[in-house]
């Protein structure tokens, strides 16, 4: 019996693991800012460590940045990630942690829609209904009303749009280029930009606790990078993308444990809608695969 995971199953597993790793990283970076560091200072220090780790790893594996040659999609991916990072962390330190993370759930639904239109991936009417359900959940968390809406949420929305661009650029990166090389180039670019921004926003006092948080964040971000890059290179984007919803559960837990943020009823409703859409999407994919296998046999 062949127990090898299908490309779509691999994409789902990688997307889930990468999403949770990103959330933990985000929480630790925010923790460093609450310990006195500026947000861009935190990202710069974390990035310096990450560049060192990835550079040593890539060197030992025999990879070089020149492996990218003039790969335009890789450059586009890096640029989109830099903008998304700058916008997202400017918003996350000023918003409820779980709420900021939930806004990013715009990404999987947008990716699914675009994948069906631009990549020719089959998306059923039921999948579109689930996308709409998930978007309603996002709106429930964002709450675009005069009383509850924060303008900082717009930065997170901008970050989400650039993350969508990043996903499709990653899809077009030459498959011969190792994920480790793409991650290293991304780390170098983001670290450089965050260092430049930190010149204008200032530096706070560096403490042992803040540095420890950034060291652990670096480890989780490396996992997130590698999983996220590989996730969109295997299987269908319309299948793996909705599994970013797992980040919502992680964000609520991290927000509660690290920042004493208790979700209100409307936030819970939004999370339930998003998770329900994701679970239903997974069941739809499983049924479709079973039907396909039964027809082929």
Residue that the structure tokens 């793409």 belong to:
182
126-130, 162-166, 208-212: lowest mean pLDDT where?
126-130
- Amino acid 146: pLDDT: 56
* 269: CB partners within 8 A, 6+ apart: 137, 140
Distances (CA, A) of 16 to 140, 171, 240: 23, 18, 8
For 276, counting Cβ atoms within 10 Å of its Cβ (0-12 exposed, 13-18 middle, 19+ buried), the class is middle
Domain ranges within the chain, ordered by starting residue: 22-296
**Percent of the chain at pLDDT exceeding 90:** 28
> Could you tell me which residue, 194 or 92, shows the higher pLDDT?
194
Does pLDDT of 69 surpass 90? Answer: no
Does pLDDT of 1 surpass 50? Answer: no
- Amino acid 31: pLDDT: 92
Answer yes or no: are the C-beta atoms of 49 and 214 closer than 8 Å.
yes
* 155: CB partners within 8 A, 6+ apart: 87, 88, 90, 91
For the segment 58-75, the average pLDDT, to the nearest whole number, is 77
Binning pLDDT at 50, 70 and 90, where does residue 2 land? very low
119-133, 200-214, 255-269, 280-294: lowest mean pLDDT where?
280-294
Alpha-carbon span 158 to 287, nearest angstrom? 35
Binning pLDDT at 50, 70 and 90, where does residue 292 land? low
Does pLDDT of 275 surpass 80? Answer: no
- Amino acid 296: pLDDT: 55
- Amino acid 280: pLDDT: 78
pLDDT tens profile 249-262 = 788 788 888 888 78
Alpha-carbon span 297 to 293, nearest angstrom? 6
For the segment 64-84, the average pLDDT, to the nearest whole number, is 81
pLDDT tens profile 91-137 = 888 887 777 877 877 787 777 777 777 666 666 777 778 777 877 87
pLDDT tens profile 143-156 = 655 555 678 888 98
Q: What is the pTM of this model?
A: 0.77
pLDDT tens profile 169-189 = 888 888 788 888 888 989 999
For the segment 228-241, the average pLDDT, to the nearest whole number, is 78
Binning pLDDT at 50, 70 and 90, where does residue 223 land? very high
User: Average pLDDT, whole number, for the chain?
Assistant: 82
For the segment 54-63, the average pLDDT, to the nearest whole number, is 89
């Amino acid at each position: 019996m062949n127990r090898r995971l299908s490309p779509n199953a691999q994409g789902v597993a990688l997307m889930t693991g990468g999403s949770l790793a990103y959330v933990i990283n985000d929480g630790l970076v925010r923790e460093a800012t609450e310990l006195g560091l500026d947000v861009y200072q935190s990202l710069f220090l974390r990035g310096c460590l990450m560049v060192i780790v990835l550079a040593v790893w890539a060197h030992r594996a025999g990879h070089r940045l020149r492996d990218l040659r003039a790969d335009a999609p890789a450059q586009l991916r890096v640029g989109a990630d830099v903008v998304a990072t700058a916008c997202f962390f400017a918003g996350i330190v000023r918003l409820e942690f779980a709420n900021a993370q939930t806004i990013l759930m715009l990404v999987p639904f947008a990716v699914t829609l675009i994948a069906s239109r631009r990549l020719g991936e089959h998306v059923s009417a039921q999948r579109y209904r689930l996308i709409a359900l998930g978007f309603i959940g996002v709106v429930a968390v964002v709450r675009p009303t005069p009383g509850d809406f924060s303008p900082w949420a717009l930065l997170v929305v901008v970050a989400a749009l650039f993350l969508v661009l990043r996903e499709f650029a990653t899809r077009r990166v030459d498959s011969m280029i190792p994920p480790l090389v793409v991650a290293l180039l991304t780390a170098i670019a983001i670290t450089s930009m965050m260092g430049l921004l930190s010149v204008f926003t200032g530096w706070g006092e560096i403490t042992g606790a803040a540095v420890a948080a950034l060291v652990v964040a670096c480890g989780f971000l490396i996992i997130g990078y590698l999983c996220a890059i590989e996730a969109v290179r295997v299987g269908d984007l319309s299948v793996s993308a909705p599994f970013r919803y797992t980040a919502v559960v992680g964000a609520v837990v991290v927000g509660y444990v690290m920042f004493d943020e208790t979700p209100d009823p409307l936030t819970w409703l939004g999370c339930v809608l998003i998770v329900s859409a994701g679970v239903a999407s997974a069941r739809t994919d499983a049924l479709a695969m079973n039907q396909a296998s039964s027809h082929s046999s």
